Structure 1
Amino acid sequence: MDTGPALFTASRTQTLTYLLAVCSFSIAFLVFINSSLSFVVTDLLGVSEGEGDAVGTLGFADELLALAACPLWGVLSDRIGVRLVCTIGYAIIAVALILFVQAKNVYPQLLLGRLFFSIGGAAVSTMVTAVLPAVTSRSLQSSVNRAEQSTTPTQSTGEEGETDCQSAATSSRASPSARLSGFVGLFAGCGALISLGVFLPLPARFEKRGLSPAEAIRQSYYVVAAVAMAISLVSFVGLRNLPDEDRKNPRTFWLNQSTHSRRDEYAGDVPEGHDEIQHGLRSLPYWKQFTTALLLGFRNRRIALGYIGGFVARASSVGISLFIPLAVNHYYRVSGVCDEDHEPLPGSGLGEIRKACPRAYILASILTGVSQLVALIAAPAFGYLTDKSRRYNVPLLVAALVGVVGYLAFGLLPNPQFKSPDGNPGVFIIMGLIGISQIGAIVCSLAVLSNGILEVGVSEGVLAEIYDRRVENWGTDGGIGGEQQPLLSRSADDRLQHLSHLKGSIAGVYSLYGGAGILILTKIGGLLFDKVSAGSPFYIMAVFNAFLLAAGAVCGIWNQIARSKIASE
């Protein structure tokens, strides 16, 4: 059976641009700057003391700014389009990488360079989420039409009604977003491999050609910046004419907030029907776009579960990349294997561990590598399984349960080694469980969120309720969306369009939740790591996954209750 048209509903060029450029390199550039930052501080700037604290501070400032920037980029993309935001984001990354190696000191120059990079990184990471429903929206648009046809008066009773209801149920099970989200996870993992296998070895290669360490780092950043600029151009060309993006353009950024002015200015551009409503949505003030997306997390169970999944997914990435190496290093020092006096601070990264305790670095690299390899292999499987279990979100529940077991096991592990007399090869199983948990949270949360964006208007009308109230309050002076145009009377097709045009804002809130997960785990986990035990960050991750498991179970039960009520009626 040919599943291509059902899965890749955008053009082949758009889909490949999304997977190969947007998804892959949004991770690649972040991994590169995080992994090479310590070498910039020591080799380029010549900082010999306090480099761990400097690296940790720069990373924390990056996440703090991203926490605010992600929602702003998401809201902006609902006005000017995801294509332009991707293009601008990668262009900012390219310029930031060049400016980064021009710094002469850590504060303020290197800090400002890292913050500028954070702005671009926030744009592209948010667009990974926002572009997904745009790429898969056409097939669900057809599902909406079929669902509406199945509920017409002539088909609502008798045998015909049963047949149509079964057809609608069958179409609703087809989830291109779920399957494509598996490929998103796969290509994101490939992006990390590109960074580790291509970008990070660049300084060593330049040194072999006779350059000094400082100049080798500088030239490496120039090469990576050129790649970022190329990806920006690819995004600009490859993401043209995405579904639901045709009426978004830069001029909407400066929309006059006067209702009558907007109506006069666009009177000739807005046709009758739902296109007018789409224009009205884009004309809402930015803060109302954001608060509507934020409120959806409390009013719609699909969106809420996607937000919680994003929180856990981003925290998991920090748990693996930061605290597992730190815990391994801590074990080596406590056991007396390493004789060095210097212990890396939370947030220092593998670069500091490599210099302080090479054996700990090797073991940490092996463990995190196993985790990421398992995640890479499992990504498409999670996408496929999520497609098959949309009502109960079983893959998400499994990922959360596996996360609880994996993180608890690692936190309680007395010895992370696998070769020593006291070691246990079972640590690889634990790392595999953690990797499965991470990729499951990433893939399933993206799929749930994208399906919520594309289907909420069909099944629940929650957005219509929120949107009606906000637009009516905003348009009581006679503007678009006032009392004379109640959106609750609109068709499911219109409501679908409303939420689809908020996909950027929703993606921004999704990234906001993810950033909050990173900050909470980094600060609280780091504090408890020093004050209580080295296993504390992993216990926190187990609690996060337990909360996700509970939320997923509640949503599944709620879905079953709602389905039973519909069947009884």
Structure 2
Amino acid sequence: MINTNYTFKNLLAFNVSGFACVAFIVFLTSTQPFYLNEVLDINHNLGNIIGNLGLIDEILCILSSPLIGTLNDRINTSSWRLNGAKIIQFIGFSIISLSLFSYAKLINSLNKMYFVRGVFAIGVTSIMSMIPVLLNELSNSDFEFKKIVFWRRRHHHRESNEVSNKNGKYSALIGISTGLGAIFSVSMFLTLPVRLNDNYPNLSNKSSLQLSYLILSILSIIVAIYLLIFLYNSNKSNNQVVNPESQPLLPSTKPNYLQLLHHGIKISSNNSKIQLSFVGSFVARSTTVLTAVFIPLWVYHFYHDSGKCDALDKNNCYDGYIFAAILTGVAQTIGLILSPIWGILIDHRKVGSTLCLLLSSILGLVGCFGICFNSNLDPRNFHTFFFVSLISSLQIGSVITSMSLLSSLQSDTSIGSLSGLYSLCGGLGILILNKVGGLWSDSWILAPFALLGAFNILLTITSSYNLYK
């Protein structure tokens, strides 16, 4: 099927989805320690509590993502007027709005916080599980970048049923959007409580933080309504043209929920490119944990053990926090700059997604083991910035290429189930690196880098096999 009448408004809504979701994730995860302290008056065992909150996130992601993905396929094979991705995106942001409202008004105990964080995780999983589905709609559409010149009226649709090779560029675009969402959240959302405090001196720290959650709750429901209106609706009968070269993945009879889930698993077990995208998702999501958690932990460990923290308060490592922010900030900026380059390489007929995934895994290997085998544990040197930048290149490269591989499937019948399995593999990567890497880092601070390096060996072998078979 080729989706016709795909407009710039649909493309913008798709990118707003990734932008907004990541922005809300960054805000909530970054403010958790302050919420525990200011709102719930908890100032002990914060690390253990935050770790448990993250564990709840990933367990629910692993359990729910295949079910949510298959729900998309179930809606699309029913007589609904709206397609599954559009509905699930609306529900996902509505759930995020409800959870943020609960943070603002309803939570008064740690147990309630655990429950609401689980609700938030379901909302995030719903949204992120639909990103490859939305990308698949775009990749198999008649959209062309010249449609962005919205003042030029197009009188004729493309007559060819062939989809132009822009899948990599579309994947890079959503990669850039999510990266910008994280930057926007750090600069705007995270500073919101402080700005509220400055403008309204009568507000306490607790009240300003709760008010920030309330404001973002309202913003989330606005995003949900916006997406319900402007996301592409592939279920309109006049929106699709049959490509004679594409084969349906299921018979025309309407399958039930379990049949859809089983069929998605069957397709992935018989398609090496889909399997490769799953391995790419596993490595990509693992890399986000290394960047967000274990690089700052390494920096803090060095500053603490070398006596470079505050002489009067060893727990005050302000300089360490500043350096960790600079290190990760530089790496993330380099990754953001490389996004369009990965997109161009993916679409190049002599390169493609599989070779790009191989290249990104090799960069990750050099970055991870370069840090592990560096005898100098002091991160304040050029080598560290170089190797961490390679790891960031791995992160953005594996995200974009794995999504590109999955979304290039030219049928939407089981794309939701496959997208759910894709998210499940990513959740497993996060869970394993978090727990195994965290435990191992107590005896060797660079252990998470070695573990991610091992993951990249797997990705290198898998992508090499797919490239040369």
The alignment's TM-score, normalised by the length of structure 1, stands at 0.72
**CA–CA distance in 2 between the matches of 1:182 and 1:416?**
34
- 2:454 aligns with 543
- Alignment of 1:397 onto 2:370: no
- Alignment of 1:327 onto 2:330: no
Match of 2:166 among 176, 179, 195: 176
Letter of the 1:510 counterpart:
Y
- C-alpha displacement at 1:298, in angstroms? 2.3
Match of 1:429 among 386, 391, 401: 386
- C-alpha displacement at 1:10, in angstroms? 2.2
Match of 2:119 among 116, 119, 136: 116
Match of 1:317 among 288, 291, 294: 288
The alignment's TM-score, normalised by the length of structure 2, stands at 0.87
The answer (yes or no) to whether the contact 1:412–1:535 under 8 Å persists in 2 is no
**CA–CA distance in 1 between the matches of 2:330 and 2:4?**
31
Letter of the 2:51 counterpart:
G
Match of 2:34 among 14, 39, 43: 39
- Alignment of 1:137 onto 2:151: no
The 3-state SS of whatever aligns with 1:97 is helix
Letter of the 1:236 counterpart:
L
- C-alpha displacement at 1:85, in angstroms? 0.4
- Alignment of 1:359 onto 2:270: no
- 1:376 aligns with 336
Change in Cα spacing, 1:199 to 1:282, as seen in structure 2 (3 Å) is farther
- 1:258 aligns with none
- 1:92 aligns with 95
- 1:496 aligns with none
Written as runs of structure 1 = structure 2, the 5 A alignment for 1:472-511 is: 499-511=411-423
- C-alpha displacement at 1:59, in angstroms? 1.1
What does the per-residue CA deviation read over 1:444-492, in whole Å, with 9 as the maximum and x for residues that have no partner? 10111111x22xxxxxxxxxxxxxxxxxxxxxxxxxxxxxxxxxxxxxx
Change in Cα spacing, 1:362 to 1:123, as seen in structure 2 (3 Å) is same
Change in Cα spacing, 1:555 to 1:8, as seen in structure 2 (3 Å) is farther
- 2:147 aligns with none
- 1:300 aligns with 271
- Unpaired runs of at least 5, structure 1: 1-5, 141-167, 248-272, 344-354, 455-498, 559-569
Mark the structure with the bigger radius of gyration. Answer: 1
- C-alpha displacement at 1:8, in angstroms? 10
**CA–CA distance in 2 between the matches of 1:73 and 1:370?**
35
What does the per-residue CA deviation read over 1:504-525, in whole Å, with 9 as the maximum and x for residues that have no partner? 1111000000000000100100
What does the per-residue CA deviation read over 1:73-99, in whole Å, with 9 as the maximum and x for residues that have no partner? 111111231000001100110111110
- 1:257 aligns with none
The 3-state SS of whatever aligns with 2:381 is coil
Change in Cα spacing, 1:341 to 1:101, as seen in structure 2 (3 Å) is farther
The answer (yes or no) to whether the contact 1:86–1:124 under 8 Å persists in 2 is yes
Written as runs of structure 1 = structure 2, the 5 A alignment for 1:210-225 is: 210=201, 211-225=203-217
**CA–CA distance in 2 between the matches of 1:11 and 1:539?**
45
% identical aligned pairs: 30
**CA–CA distance in 1 between the matches of 2:134 and 2:464?**
28
Change in Cα spacing, 1:393 to 1:109, as seen in structure 2 (3 Å) is same
**CA–CA distance in 1 between the matches of 2:50 and 2:414?**
36
Letter of the 1:386 counterpart:
I
Change in Cα spacing, 1:447 to 1:9, as seen in structure 2 (3 Å) is farther
- C-alpha displacement at 1:240, in angstroms? 4.1
Written as runs of structure 1 = structure 2, the 5 A alignment for 1:199-278 is: 199-208=189-198, 209-210=200-201, 211-242=203-234, 245-246=235-236
Higher relative contact order (CA 8 A, sep 6+): 2
Written as runs of structure 1 = structure 2, the 5 A alignment for 1:517-528 is: 517-528=429-440
**How many pairs are equivalent?**
435
- 2:128 aligns with 125
Letter of the 1:441 counterpart:
S
**CA–CA distance in 2 between the matches of 1:425 and 1:7?**
48
The 3-state SS of whatever aligns with 1:284 is coil
- Alignment of 1:407 onto 2:368: yes
The answer (yes or no) to whether the contact 2:3–2:137 under 8 Å persists in 1 is no
Letter of the 1:289 counterpart:
L
Letter of the 1:517 counterpart:
G
- 1:29 aligns with 24
- C-alpha displacement at 1:435, in angstroms? 1.0
- 2:8 aligns with 12
- C-alpha displacement at 1:417, in angstroms? 5.1
- C-alpha displacement at 1:278, in angstroms? 8.3
**CA–CA distance in 1 between the matches of 2:179 and 2:352?**
27
Change in Cα spacing, 1:340 to 1:326, as seen in structure 2 (3 Å) is farther
The answer (yes or no) to whether the contact 2:299–2:320 under 8 Å persists in 1 is yes
- Unpaired runs of at least 5, structure 2: 76-83, 144-159, 238-243
Change in Cα spacing, 1:104 to 1:86, as seen in structure 2 (3 Å) is closer
The 3-state SS of whatever aligns with 1:500 is coil
**CA–CA distance in 2 between the matches of 1:189 and 1:57?**
26
- C-alpha displacement at 1:392, in angstroms? 6.9
The answer (yes or no) to whether the contact 1:9–1:137 under 8 Å persists in 2 is no
**CA–CA distance in 2 between the matches of 1:500 and 1:35?**
36
The answer (yes or no) to whether the contact 2:3–2:140 under 8 Å persists in 1 is no
Single out whichever of 502-511 and 100-109 deviates more from structure 2: 100-109
The answer (yes or no) to whether the contact 1:529–1:537 under 8 Å persists in 2 is yes
Change in Cα spacing, 1:374 to 1:391, as seen in structure 2 (3 Å) is closer
- 1:263 aligns with none
- 2:428 aligns with 516
- 1:291 aligns with 262
**CA–CA distance in 2 between the matches of 1:35 and 1:73?**
26
- C-alpha displacement at 1:103, in angstroms? 4.6
Change in Cα spacing, 1:535 to 1:220, as seen in structure 2 (3 Å) is same
Single out whichever of 279-288 and 126-135 deviates more from structure 2: 279-288
- C-alpha displacement at 1:429, in angstroms? 1.3
